[in-house]
């Protein structure tokens, strides 16, 4: 660990995502003249819902599962955010992720607040029937708290179009009418939007390409390493590879696939389509070497994209990082302490709340299409999304220069300020106190 950044400056548990996000928030508000009760009200979620529900398993035994929906802010519009299924899901983590959604939606200026949900379960060991029963039970448990103008869930880790279709089905049965706009990330055959599937990965690629150009790197001479080859990483890899970037490494739970001349992303995608376990296991092309998981972070590359899950770059491995620019594909892949060390080392980090916002931006397009009963074509959607993210990056760069801070704090400053403006306009702030940026 470097000299200037010491552990004592950060929260006690480095891997506590909610504490890390809160820390970014606390540091960012120092740049804003905020009333202390405004700060307090944004620190805590508006509502935290914890549910416990039975699910009959295939073996005839009924198990009890714990689920959450944390609704962080509705200042700028209905709550919005994904639902994840993972053994590590808990209320604290969901809380942190819900506030990230508030900042994300505000930063890219879409009319939503922020929320997150999840169920502690191990989807890898569950049958499709068990997942369906679990989803329907979880939906029933939170059904009064969601709705197209109230809280709009979407996919996240280990949930997908099928999960959203079950939620839509349960909710529509509950209200007695078809309510497409209650969830986003639905299949095209059920009110989903063209481009939603690709959106998060394409957005990451758009931001990464723009950042390369800003820093004077020629994309055609640039290299990238991508951690995660799922719903996010695989689309980012495709887009970057199409733009001429040499993708020298890609990893998933089956290991790191490395080839210094550049991997054939198209072939890898084909392999994944035919894979029985949804991983790159067994993938081979000439010149490829397999490396241990951790080695993805030590590669000498222009771009590093952690697109797997949170807490991947920490004080333990940050010194290995040899990339020029990191674009956060996942939510919270870098801990606060590692983030400070990277800044000190001059490694640019494009924060998650901008980099992976393509997903929720296209979710917003899906919702507006559902509410208005029309559909846009895919090129139109992708180009609107690209424009939004690139505009967001310009704004971040400008605020960073004005405030002399990192891109992450610039992002939080813009997002928080926009929310405070909305609180002012709604009359939620006493004595007409306004935020100054």
CB-based contacts of 418: which residues, under 8 Å, 6+ apart?
76, 106, 107, 109
Q: Is 154 in the site for ligand GLU (CB under 6 A)?
A: yes
Stretch that binds ligand GLU, among 75-83, 259-267, 391-399, 403-411 (CB under 6 A): 75-83
Instruction: Give min distance, CB of 364 to ligand GLU, in A.
Output: 8
The residue (of 20 and 363) whose beta carbon lies closer to ligand GLU is 363
Interacting residue with ligand GLU among 360, 389, 423, 429 (CB under 6 A): 360
**Catalytic residue list contains 116:** yes
Geometric angle at alpha carbon 385, from 325 and 388, rounded to 5°: 70
Please give the C-alpha separations between residue 281 and each of 108, 158, 207, 271, 273, in angstroms, as whole numbers. 37, 19, 29, 9, 12
Binding mask 166-185 for ligand GLU (x = CB under 6 A): ------------------xx
The residue (of 23 and 156) whose beta carbon lies closer to ligand GLU is 156
Binding mask 82-101 for ligand GLU (x = CB under 6 A): x-------------------
What's the CA gap between 188 and 320, in Å, rounded? 42
Residue among 213, 199, 422 nearest 329 (CA): 199
Interacting residue with ligand GLU among 93, 151, 156, 170 (CB under 6 A): 156
Residue among 278, 300, 310 nearest 225 (CA): 300
Binding mask 319-338 for ligand GLU (x = CB under 6 A): ------------x-------
Report yes or no: 360 and 392 within 8 Å, Cβ to Cβ: no
Share in percent of the chain as helix, strand, coil (round to 5):
50, 20, 35
Residue among 321, 325, 351 nearest 336 (CA): 351
What's the CA gap between 115 and 78, in Å, rounded? 9
Q: Is 370 in the site for ligand GLU (CB under 6 A)?
A: no
Please give the C-alpha separations between residue 60 and each of 22, 57, 207, 275, 290, in angstroms, as whole numbers. 43, 6, 49, 30, 42
The residue (of 16 and 310) whose beta carbon lies closer to ligand GLU is 310
Q: Is 130 in the site for ligand GLU (CB under 6 A)?
A: no
Instruction: Give min distance, CB of 253 to ligand GLU, in A.
Output: 20
φ/ψ of 17, rounded to 5, equals -60, -40
Report yes or no: 162 and 183 within 8 Å, Cβ to Cβ: no
Please give the C-alpha separations between residue 231 and each of 120, 122, 201, 284, 290, in angstroms, as whole numbers. 20, 18, 8, 21, 22
Binding mask 15-54 for ligand GLU (x = CB under 6 A): ----------------------------------------
Instruction: Give min distance, CB of 229 to ligand GLU, in A.
Output: 18
Stretch that binds ligand GLU, among 222-230, 353-361, 415-423, 424-432 (CB under 6 A): 353-361
The residue (of 331 and 369) whose beta carbon lies closer to ligand GLU is 331
Q: Is 134 in the site for ligand GLU (CB under 6 A)?
A: no
Residue of 27, 80, 95, 116 marked active site: 116
Instruction: Give min distance, CB of 390 to ligand GLU, in A.
Output: 18
Residue of minimal Cβ distance to ligand GLU: 82
Applying CB under 6 A, the site for ligand GLU has a residue count of 12
Q: Is 369 in the site for ligand GLU (CB under 6 A)?
A: no
The residue (of 154 and 407) whose beta carbon lies closer to ligand GLU is 154
Stretch that binds ligand GLU, among 15-23, 208-216, 281-289, 356-364 (CB under 6 A): 356-364
Q: Is 114 in the site for ligand GLU (CB under 6 A)?
A: no
Q: Is 351 in the site for ligand GLU (CB under 6 A)?
A: no
Geometric angle at alpha carbon 410, from 98 and 385, rounded to 5°: 65
Stretch that binds ligand GLU, among 11-19, 30-38, 74-82, 392-400 (CB under 6 A): 74-82
Residue among 188, 157, 191 nearest 172 (CA): 191
End-to-end alpha carbon distance in the chain: 33
Angle subtended by helix axes 378-403 and 407-426, to nearest 10: 100
The residue (of 201 and 255) whose beta carbon lies closer to ligand GLU is 201
The residue (of 288 and 376) whose beta carbon lies closer to ligand GLU is 376
Give the number of other Cβ atoms within 10 Å of residue 291's Cβ: 15
The residue (of 210 and 310) whose beta carbon lies closer to ligand GLU is 310
Report yes or no: 66 and 52 within 8 Å, Cβ to Cβ: yes
Kindly list the residues in this chain that would bind ligand GLU in the complex (CB under 6 A). 80-82, 154, 156, 184-185, 331, 356, 359-360, 363
The residues annotated as belonging to the active site are 116
């Amino acid at each position: 660990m470097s000299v200037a950044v010491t552990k004592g400056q950060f929260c006690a548990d480095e891997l506590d995502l909610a504490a890390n996000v809160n820390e970014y928030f606390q540091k960012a508000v120092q740049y804003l003249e905020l009333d202390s009760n405004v700060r307090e009200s944004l620190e805590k979620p508006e509502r935290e819902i914890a549910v416990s529900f039975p699910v009959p398993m295939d073996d005839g035994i009924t198990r009890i599962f714990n689920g959450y929906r944390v609704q962080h802010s509705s200042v700028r519009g209905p709550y919005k955010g994904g639902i994840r299924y993972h053994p590590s899901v808990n209320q604290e983590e969901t809380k942190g992720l819900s506030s990230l959604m508030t900042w994300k939606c505000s930063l890219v200026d879409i009319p939503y607040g922020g929320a997150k949900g999840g169920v502690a379960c191990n989807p890898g060991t569950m049958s499709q029937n068990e997942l369906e029963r679990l989803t329907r039970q979880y939906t029933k448990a939170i059904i009064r708290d969601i709705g197209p103008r109230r809280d709009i869930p979407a996919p996240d880790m280990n949930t997908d179009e099928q999960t959203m279709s079950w939620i839509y089905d349960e909710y529509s049965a509950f209200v007695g009418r078809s309510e497409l706009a209650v969830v986003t990330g639905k299949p095209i055959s059920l009110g989903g939007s063209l481009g939603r599937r690709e959106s998060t990965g394409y957005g990451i690629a758009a931001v990464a390409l723009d950042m390369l150009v800003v820093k004077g790197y020629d994309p055609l001479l640039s290299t990238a390493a991508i951690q995660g080859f799922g719903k996010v990483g695989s689309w980012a890899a495709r887009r970057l590879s199409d733009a001429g970037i040499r993708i020298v490494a890609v990893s998933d739970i089956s290991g790191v696939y490395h080839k210094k001349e550049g991997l054939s992303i198209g072939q890898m995608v084909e392999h994944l389509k035919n894979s029985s376990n949804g991983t790159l296991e067994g993938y081979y092309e000439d010149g490829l070497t397999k490396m241990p998981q951790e080695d993805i972070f030590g590669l000498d590359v222009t771009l590093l994209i952690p697109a797997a899950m949170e807490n991947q770059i920490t004080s333990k491995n940050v010194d290995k990082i040899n990339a020029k620019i990191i674009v956060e594909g996942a939510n919270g892949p870098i801990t606060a302490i590692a983030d400070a060390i990277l800044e000190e080392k001059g490694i640019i980090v494009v924060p998650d709340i901008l980099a992976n916002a393509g997903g929720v931006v296209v979710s917003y397009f899906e919702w507006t299409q559902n509410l208005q009963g029309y559909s846009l074509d895919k090129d139109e959607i992708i180009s609107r999304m690209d424009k939004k993210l690139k505009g967001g990056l310009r704004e971040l760069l400008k605020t960073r220069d004005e405030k002399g801070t990192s891109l992450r704090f610039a992002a939080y400053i813009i997002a928080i300020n926009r929310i405070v403006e909305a609180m002012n306009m709604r009359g939620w702030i006493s004595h007409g106190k306004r935020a100054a940026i």
